[in-house]
Amino acid sequence: MNMRHILIMGGDARYLHVIESLSRTDNQLYLIGFHHLSFKKHNVKHTELEHTNLSMMDAIILPVAGTDEKGKVEITYADESLFLTEQILSCTPKHCTIYTGTANDYLREICLAANRKMVRLFDRDDVAIYNSIPTAEGALKLAIEATEETIHSSNVCVLGFGRVGKTVARLFHAVGAHVHVAARNSADLARITEMGLTAIKTDQLNTVIGNIAICINTIPKLVIDENLIGNMSPSAVVIDLASKPGGVDTACAKQHHIKAIHALGLPGKTAPKTAGKILAKVLIDSFNNE
């Protein structure tokens, strides 16, 4: 791998392990948003945006959430505020690649306007599947803390049977829960049954929701609505794993005194070292394949 100049702009605990892994390569790293920390590596340098020669940068690595809708970048280890703009991107070389976990409309638009390539790491199946493991473990931890009974023998419903839903369903089944999985696709329903779980069509959730103790959503659109919430047990717990804005009517849940937890960024909270190594591996693979 040829030496690259890489700017890392913000990030959470996962990025400490990304920095550690990338510092063992021949790349030169420039860090913005990590001034509370010290890195004793010759190829790791703290910098500030106004003092950074953007024309040297081969890549910019953003936090997993990219930016907010105003361009603000998440900063965990510094007191400064940081914003990414089209003007900043335009100061980089044309070959500069922007790496992020996910991307909202703002980030997509400024990358398009600046004509810079953007790579969304969480669009990759391998990253999503690896990340589903700490996500599922984090969901299990939240469920244990939020309920007064064991997960074993509890009725659990997982909404969605994608990359995260599969891992969540498998883990809760492994600890002895009675797991229902809601899906639309007939092949998914067959696979759910083959796994020894209870398959249910998404549009038939109301027939079982009243007996569910823990409801875990992985679908990134509103699915746990007023109709479902109104039929839930008052003691039910809802854990929403879907990205913003989530799939739960939280205002309605509050009105019905249903505990609803929007659990964002679980890999970074429950297993930052593992999650950071996953990100670092895919970043190095991406650099090698350019």
The CA angle 7-98-81, to the nearest 5 degrees, is: 55
Q: Is the pLDDT of residue 2 over 80?
A: no
Q: Domain residue spans in the chain?
A: 5-123, 128-268
pTM of the full structure: 0.86
Assess contact for 35 and 77: CB atoms under 8 A.
yes
Query: What is residue 80's predicted lDDT score, i.e. its pLDDT?
Result: 86
The torsion angles phi and psi of 162, rounded to 5 degrees, stand at -90, -155
pLDDT band at 89 (very low <50, low <70, confident <90, very high): very high
pLDDT for the residue 72: 96
At 1 the pLDDT is 52
Backbone angles phi, psi at 21, to 5 degrees: -70, -45
Answer whether CATH 3.40.50.720 is correct for domain 5-123.
yes
pLDDT given for residue 40 in this prediction: 87
165/224 Cα distance (integer angstroms): 15
- Cα separation of 283 and 90, whole Å? 22
Percent of the chain exceeding pLDDT 70 equals: 100
Q: How confident is the model at residue 132 (pLDDT cuts 50, 70, 90)?
A: very high
Same fold, 5-123 and 128-268: yes
Domain at 128-268, CATH class:
alpha beta
**Nearest partner of 239 among 162, 160, 175, judged by Cα:** 160
Q: How confident is the model at residue 288 (pLDDT cuts 50, 70, 90)?
A: confident
Q: What is the pLDDT of residue 156?
A: 98
Span between the terminal Cα atoms of the chain, in Å: 10
Residues 6+ apart with CB under 8 A from 277: 17, 21
Residue 289, pLDDT > 90, answer no
